[in-house]
């Protein structure tokens, strides 16, 4: 099957639309999932004092 202009534009206008909507919903759900709040707060605060490593 040839990758014609019509086919490319069909994919862009159908699949492209729905996968981006699904992605947006998925990421919003992940970012605002209530039980992840503590992990995000910890991450946000983790950079404030990071010169004393534990390193490896």
Partner 1 sequence: MMERLTGAERQIALMICVVMATVGLVMAAAGRGDPMGSHGAIVLIAAGITTFFVLRAIGEPEPAEDRTVNYYDDPTKAGLVIALFWAVVGMGMGVWVAAQLAWPDLRFDAAWSSFGRIRPVHTSGVIFGFGGNALIATSYHVMQRTSRARLAGHVSPWFVLLGFNLFCIVAASGYLMGVTQSKEYAEPEWYADIWLVIVWVVYFVLYIRTLARRNEPHIYVANWYYMAFILVVAILHIVNNLAVPASLTGAKSYSAFAGVQDAMTQWWYGHNAVAFFLTAGFLGMLYYFLPKRAERPIYSYRLSILSFWGIVFFYIWAGSHHLHYTALPQWVQTLGMTFSVMLLVPSWASAGNALMTLNGAWHKVRDDATLRFMMVAAVFYGLSTFEGSFMAVRAVNSLSHYTDWTVGHVHAGAMGWVALITFGSIYSVVPLLWKRETMYSWKLVEWHFWLALAGTVIYVFAMWNSGIIQGLMWRTYTDSGTLAYSFTDTLVAMHPYYVARACGGALFLTGAILAAYNVYMTIRHAPEKHPERDYPTSSEAAEPAVPAAE
DSSP state of 34: G
Contact at 8 Å (CB) between 36 and 30? yes
Q: Which is nearer to partner 1, 1 or 31 (CB)?
A: 31
Residue 2 found at the interface with partner 1 (CB under 8 A): no
Binding flags for partner 1, 15-54, as an x/- string (CB under 8 A): -----x--xx--xx-xxx----x-xxxxxxxxxx-xxxxx
In order of 8, 10, 15, 55, the CA distances from 5 in angstroms are 5, 9, 15, 53
Site residues for partner 1 per CB under 8 A? 5, 9, 12-13, 20, 23-24, 27-28, 30-32, 37, 39-48, 50-56
């Amino acid at each position: 099957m040839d990758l014609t202009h019509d086919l490319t534009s069909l994919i862009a206008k159908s699949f492209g639309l729905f996968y981006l909507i699904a992605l947006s919903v998925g990421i919003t759900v992940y970012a605002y999932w209530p039980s992840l709040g503590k992990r995000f707060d910890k991450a946000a605060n983790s950079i404030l004092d990071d010169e004393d490593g534990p390193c490896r």
